[in-house]
Amino acid sequence: MRVLLRVAYDGSAYCGYQIQDNGDTIQEELEKALLDLFCVPIETTGGSRTDAGVHSLGNPVVFDVETKMKAMSIAPALNVRLPEDIRVLSSVEVASDFHPHTAPSRKTYEYCIRVQRMEVPTERNRVLTVHVPLDLAAMQKAAGYLEGEHDFTSFSSIHAQVTSKVRTIYSCQVTCDERDTIPTYNPLDPEEEGFGRLIRIRVTGNGFLYNMVRIIAGTLVEVGRGAMKAEEVEKVLAAMDRSKAGPTAPAKGLTMIRTEFVEL
Contacts of 206 by beta carbon, 8 Å cutoff, 6+ apart: 104, 105, 106, 107, 167, 168, 170
Stretch that binds a second copy, among 34-42, 131-139, 144-152, 180-188 (CB under 8 A): 180-188
Check residue 251 for interaction with a second copy (CB under 8 A): no
Task: Please identify, using beta-carbon distances, which residue of 40 and 118 lies nearer to a second copy.
Answer: 118
DSSP E strand boundaries for the chain: 2-9, 45-46, 55-64, 86-94, 105-115, 128-130, 148-151, 166-176, 198-205, 254-261
Do 11 and 53 form a contact (C-beta atoms < 8 A)? yes
Shortest distance, CB of residue 209 to a second copy, whole angstroms? 24
| Nearest one of 202, 217, 206 to 247, comparing CA atoms | 217
CA dist 215 → 48, 134, 251 (Å): 17, 17, 10
What is the rounded CA–CA span in Å between residue 128 and residue 60?
A: 25
Is 97 among the catalytic positions? no
Please report, as residue ranges, which positions from 148 to 177 form the binding site for a second copy (by CB under 8 A): 177
Shortest distance, CB of residue 184 to a second copy, whole angstroms? 6
Judged by CB under 8 A, the residue of 75, 103, 113, 216 near a second copy is 75
Check residue 193 for interaction with a second copy (CB under 8 A): no
Task: Please identify, using beta-carbon distances, which residue of 74 and 236 lies nearer to a second copy.
Answer: 74
Task: Please identify, using beta-carbon distances, which residue of 174 and 209 lies nearer to a second copy.
Answer: 174
Stretch that binds a second copy, among 130-138, 144-152, 157-165, 253-261 (CB under 8 A): 253-261
Our measurement of the distance from residue 215's CA atom to the centroid of its chain's CA atoms, rounded to an integer in Å, reads 12
Shortest distance, CB of residue 227 to a second copy, whole angstroms? 25
Shortest distance, CB of residue 183 to a second copy, whole angstroms? 7
Check residue 29 for interaction with a second copy (CB under 8 A): no
Can you list the alpha helix ranges (DSSP code H) found in the chain?
A: 26-38, 71-79, 136-146, 212-224, 232-239
- Count the Cβ atoms, other than its own, within 10 Å of residue 137: 10
Stretch that binds a second copy, among 80-88, 151-159, 162-170, 241-249 (CB under 8 A): 80-88
Task: Please identify, using beta-carbon distances, which residue of 8 and 19 lies nearer to a second copy.
Answer: 8
What is the rounded CA–CA span in Å between residue 150 and residue 154?
A: 10
SS3 146: helix
Active site residues: 51
The residues that touch a second copy, with contacts defined as CB under 8 A, are 6, 8-10, 55, 57-58, 72, 75-76, 79, 84-90, 92, 116-122, 124, 126, 177, 179, 182-188, 202, 255, 257-258
